Structure 1
């Protein structure tokens, strides 16, 4: 009965979403405020019924209701309860229900936190979000129903959740990433609503900025969590492989980063209006493209959910409607969009423009490398693959240029500046960055490595330029630094976070040590300054698996550092085998042990790795996320927004 209740709630949410599209827009066109006022309760009702539907599916998993096809396919009575809950979004149908539920939650948030916005703007924004909801709830009900029943009889046992997904990573990564994906719909809706109303002004940018930044924070954390999950779970110690689905999340992140900076210019200077609208459209379009790639079956990936071409056609149609419709509206309204104000080539505006161009070119390069093999195959020209070398060749130089421009941009003045002033302010930061960057490879390995010099120099440059900016804005007084504003501190943390991630990527890419060995209990082997002693082999029995396990003592300078236990698990229900790596974690290095196959003489094939500064890759993402969160939570900025947002509404009332 509960699954039917969940199905009914999903259908009611669809009806409410359709009403959310029509009624507020009719109110806007007719000027009837009482119709516009329905936007908020309809958005809230849609969100509530979507949450009810998701809870009903969760209940079916927790109670082992194998009469539901989706539960029987992705769960098992032996599955631990936390994984039964995360199994709700462990495959296509449930993950799509989570997607639309989060879309409803974002709509509820907009309805709740937009009390000071003009009613017609809120009506347009929620109506556009309702359009997206209608499309994806229809997709869920029509092609991906998670409540489909086994009739006339249900199996007594389920097939089990994919062992790769029986991990804490599944609990946190997809919800966080989806919150970022779906959150970009708010920026998209605000941009289209502003186009429809002709209100592309500073107030619109101010309304849109916190929502865009919040979505960016979730997307940043989601990507970092996915990278961390892949690192320890896949068993070979990598953290980014330019997998098509990894690329699908990185592309909207790059464009959303450009959008945040463009909104800042639009708010403060009234410039880049057309550019900002296009970035909002592109960011959400790329999030929809990621959904298409994951669920269409056009690619093969450990991250992909579905391989049903019919579903792919449906999503492609939704993508075409969203992108085509929004670009058509832009083409119609673009002649009426005019920016005000001027700026010189040397100015903060120019630096932010170059910053955005580099981010867009990076996203396009990744898009080209991701889609080209698919287009090549579709045209009957055969199969090919674009490997990590191509992506690195394209992306790394662009990232270096981006870091250089970030350092200059943070110090530049609005409207007009001079290279002579910037050079005078930043010369010591530049000199220190070059000297420190050149010293790192000599201290780390005693050998010159231009890649390390380049990566470390741009990192130190970005940190140095950011600190100089803080010092100048505080007029050299430490007591003034806390008074610079929460948003400014957020920007500082985000830029430092980028530098920290670059340091991590540079060090782990150039100084990782790896060794594949054949080793038996009682034997030892060395890797760098570490000695790995194979202490013993045995077996571990888990709640729904049994595993072969190997225990290694890790020594350094004759000092025992850690005892690591790596596993090779065989899951009872499916018989699938998963490798569980053992990792000794520290701030400056990871020691990584993963199992291969047992050999006839009792030895094991093992992979041993030492990865310096691995944690810095994700530490930088944490800094960036905290910086974005500070910008969203800045009360001074929010109070200013509320005060100014009320002005257009008051003028309309007088008119």
Structure 2
């Protein structure tokens, strides 16, 4: 019965999405206020229906209802409860349901938290989100229904969840990633709504900016969690492989980062309006492209869901409609987006524009490297694009990004005096060189790329510390009083940029200083890695809830002092007899020690063992979390929590677009 309720809820959600995409928009065009008011209730109804569908699918997994095909293919009665519930998004159909539920949730939140936005804008935004929901719900119901049953014959037990997904990181990683993917639909909807209204003033950027920042924060954390999971679960010791599906998540992140900075210019200076709208369309289009790559079956990846390519054709068609429709509307209204405001080549606007171009260049590099092999394969050419291509572009682009970011922090809007800028930048150079030089020589000298990366990371942090102190002391009320007076949006920017510096330093350290050994070891053998000695003590076996495991015991010594006992495993899962490697890691702030057992060698007495020394690798994920924290702090800025906007631009919007009978009322929503 739960499956039938869930299926009916999907159809109800589709009906609500259809009404949401039509009636409020007609209400705006014909000045029918009542139809505009339908937008919020319809968005809430759609989210309620999708929530019921999610709960019903979760109940099917909880109850081991193997008559539901999706449950039978992705669960097993021996599967622990936590993984049974996370199996909701462990396959193609369920992940689409999660996508649709989050899309409905974002729409419901827009309806709930947009009381300060004019009703006509809310109606347009929610109508656009309703149109997107219609596409995904049709795709789900027609090709990928998670509630399809296999009757009258169905298996007595399920096929089990992919062992790669039976991990705590995969409980959290997909929802975080999807929250970012789907969240950019709000920025897209605001852009399309602004184009429909023909009005993209600073108030529009202020409304769209917090939603974009929230989506960016979720996507940042989601990508970091995916990198962390690949590091410890796949057994190869790397944190980024330039896998096509990894790249699919990086594409909207790069475009979204550019969008956040462009929105800041549009809000503060009423500039880059056309550029900002274009970035919003590109960012959400990259999210849809990532969905296509993961679910089309055109890619082979540990992250991808291999499915019928016909499903991919549906998503590709939907991508063409959404992106093509958005770009067509943009082209039609581009002339109305011109701004008379200007800026000098040396100004904060110029530096932000330069960083935007670098971010889009990086996105284009990733896009070409990901898509090109598919075109070559279509022409019966097997060409693979590997890490040297991506690293060859990304290293100089990152260096240029930081070099533009630092003077951008110090620059004023509209125009910056070059002499003053040089006087602020030059004193920090010797400190950055000294700190970077010594930092890049630990634990041993780096090549020039590592030295430059550490220097630039130190320079970025020193620049922000200098800027914070100057701004705080400018209040002339004492340092601590001045620090408290700095806005949260400013603090968020500082923290996010420092997070980038920490990440760059971590990447440089682990890229140029990690040590790896692949060796043959039997119980009683030992291996040396730098100052560390790994002793293979013994093996034992144990039985897990749905697997059998062979577990090794490795005692690690540093300067002949025992520091940690590591327990790598080799697991064989009962249902599919799949064999998985579970690495053992001694995690630390400065370094990780990593041991993974490969395959048993002839005779079964010795094993192929991989050991690593990885300095600074935790800084990569720490930097990502700091960046997300900075974005979250910026969201708490008081101007994003105001219930009323008093600026003239909002007044103009409401006076022009609200019907006369609403203007005569006692309450003006603007």
**TM-score, normalised with respect to structure 1:** 0.98
Indicate whether 1:422 and 2:425 are aligned: no
Q: Could you tell me how far apart the structure 2 residues matched to 1:110 and 1:442 are?
A: 50
3-state SS in 1 of match to 2:508: helix
* 1:515 CA displacement: 0.6
Asked if 2 retains the 8 angstrom alpha-carbon contact of 1:117 and 1:649, the reply is: no
* 1:448 CA displacement: 5.3
Indicate whether 1:141 and 2:160 are aligned: no
After TM superposition, the structure 1 = structure 2 runs for residues 340-419 of structure 1, keeping only pairs within 5 Å, are 340-380=340-380, 382-419=381-418
Q: Could you tell me how far apart the structure 2 residues matched to 1:275 and 1:377 are?
A: 34
* 1:153 CA displacement: 2.1
Match of 1:576 among 575, 578, 584: 578
3-state SS in 1 of match to 2:65: coil
Q: Could you tell me how far apart the structure 2 residues matched to 1:626 and 1:364 are?
A: 27
Partner of residue 666, structure 2: none
Q: Could you tell me how far apart the structure 2 residues matched to 1:570 and 1:469 are?
A: 55
Asked if 2 retains the 8 angstrom alpha-carbon contact of 1:440 and 1:452, the reply is: no
Indicate whether 1:290 and 2:293 are aligned: no
After TM superposition, the structure 1 = structure 2 runs for residues 567-606 of structure 1, keeping only pairs within 5 Å, are 567-599=569-601, 600=603, 602-606=605-609
3-state SS in 2 of match to 1:11: helix
Asked if 2 retains the 8 angstrom alpha-carbon contact of 1:404 and 1:461, the reply is: no
After TM superposition, the structure 1 = structure 2 runs for residues 162-181 of structure 1, keeping only pairs within 5 Å, are 162-181=162-181
3-state SS in 2 of match to 1:52: helix
After TM superposition, the structure 1 = structure 2 runs for residues 303-318 of structure 1, keeping only pairs within 5 Å, are 303-318=303-318
Q: 1:93 to 1:200 in 2, by over 3 A?
A: same
Partner of residue 489, structure 1: 491
Indicate whether 1:616 and 2:619 are aligned: yes
* 1:376 CA displacement: 1.4
Partner of residue 256, structure 1: 256
* 1:440 CA displacement: 2.6
* 1:116 CA displacement: 1.4
Q: Could you tell me how far apart the structure 2 residues matched to 1:236 and 1:640 are?
A: 51
Q: Could you tell me how far apart the structure 1 residues matched to 2:379 and 2:516 are?
A: 40
Partner of residue 478, structure 1: 479
Partner of residue 500, structure 2: 498
Partner of residue 465, structure 1: 463
Partner of residue 431, structure 1: 430
Provide, for residues 367-386 of structure 1, a one-character-per-residue CA deviation record: whole Å limited to 9, x for no partner: 01111111112133x11100
After TM superposition, the structure 1 = structure 2 runs for residues 556-567 of structure 1, keeping only pairs within 5 Å, are 556-567=558-569
Partner of residue 131, structure 1: 131
Provide, for residues 206-259 of structure 1, a one-character-per-residue CA deviation record: whole Å limited to 9, x for no partner: 000000000000000000000000000001111101001101110110110000
* 1:438 CA displacement: 2.1
* 1:173 CA displacement: 0.3
3-state SS in 1 of match to 2:427: helix
Indicate whether 1:52 and 2:52 are aligned: yes
3-state SS in 1 of match to 2:359: helix
After TM superposition, the structure 1 = structure 2 runs for residues 29-68 of structure 1, keeping only pairs within 5 Å, are 29-68=29-68
Asked if 1 retains the 8 angstrom alpha-carbon contact of 2:292 and 2:315, the reply is: yes
Q: 1:642 to 1:539 in 2, by over 3 A?
A: farther
Asked if 1 retains the 8 angstrom alpha-carbon contact of 2:595 and 2:612, the reply is: yes
Provide, for residues 52-94 of structure 1, a one-character-per-residue CA deviation record: whole Å limited to 9, x for no partner: 0011001000100000000000000000000000001000000
Q: Which 10-residue stretch deviates more, 595-604 or 634-643?
A: 634-643
Q: 1:581 to 1:19 in 2, by over 3 A?
A: same
Q: Could you tell me how far apart the structure 2 residues matched to 1:443 and 1:292 are?
A: 43
Asked if 2 retains the 8 angstrom alpha-carbon contact of 1:269 and 1:340, the reply is: no
Asked if 2 retains the 8 angstrom alpha-carbon contact of 1:426 and 1:468, the reply is: no
Q: 1:580 to 1:153 in 2, by over 3 A?
A: same
3-state SS in 1 of match to 2:565: strand
* 1:650 CA displacement: 4.8
3-state SS in 1 of match to 2:593: strand
Provide, for residues 473-503 of structure 1, a one-character-per-residue CA deviation record: whole Å limited to 9, x for no partner: 1126422012111111100100000000001
* 1:28 CA displacement: 0.6
3-state SS in 2 of match to 1:569: strand
Partner of residue 667, structure 2: none
3-state SS in 1 of match to 2:303: coil
* 1:636 CA displacement: 4.1
Asked if 2 retains the 8 angstrom alpha-carbon contact of 1:438 and 1:453, the reply is: yes
Asked if 2 retains the 8 angstrom alpha-carbon contact of 1:513 and 1:610, the reply is: yes
Partner of residue 453, structure 1: 451
* 1:342 CA displacement: 1.3
Q: Which 10-residue stretch deviates more, 301-310 or 163-172?
A: 301-310
Partner of residue 269, structure 1: 269
Q: Could you tell me how far apart the structure 2 residues matched to 1:35 and 1:601 are?
A: 73
* 1:8 CA displacement: 0.1
Number of aligned pairs? 653
Provide, for residues 275-308 of structure 1, a one-character-per-residue CA deviation record: whole Å limited to 9, x for no partner: 0000000000000000000011111111101331
* 1:468 CA displacement: 1.5
Q: Could you tell me how far apart the structure 2 residues matched to 1:112 and 1:562 are?
A: 51
Provide, for residues 528-574 of structure 1, a one-character-per-residue CA deviation record: whole Å limited to 9, x for no partner: 11000111101021111011110001110121111110000000111
Q: Which runs of 5+ in 1 are unaligned?
A: none
Q: Could you tell me how far apart the structure 2 residues matched to 1:249 and 1:641 are?
A: 36
Provide, for residues 101-149 of structure 1, a one-character-per-residue CA deviation record: whole Å limited to 9, x for no partner: 0000000000000011111100000000000000000000000010110
Structure 1 segments (4+ residues) deviating >6 Å: none
Partner of residue 244, structure 2: 244
Q: Which 10-residue stretch deviates more, 331-340 or 250-259?
A: 331-340
Q: Could you tell me how far apart the structure 2 residues matched to 1:357 and 1:322 are?
A: 24
Provide, for residues 14-51 of structure 1, a one-character-per-residue CA deviation record: whole Å limited to 9, x for no partner: 01000000100110110011000000000000001001
Q: Which 10-residue stretch deviates more, 359-368 or 517-526?
A: 517-526
Asked if 2 retains the 8 angstrom alpha-carbon contact of 1:209 and 1:260, the reply is: yes
**TM-score, normalised with respect to structure 2:** 0.96
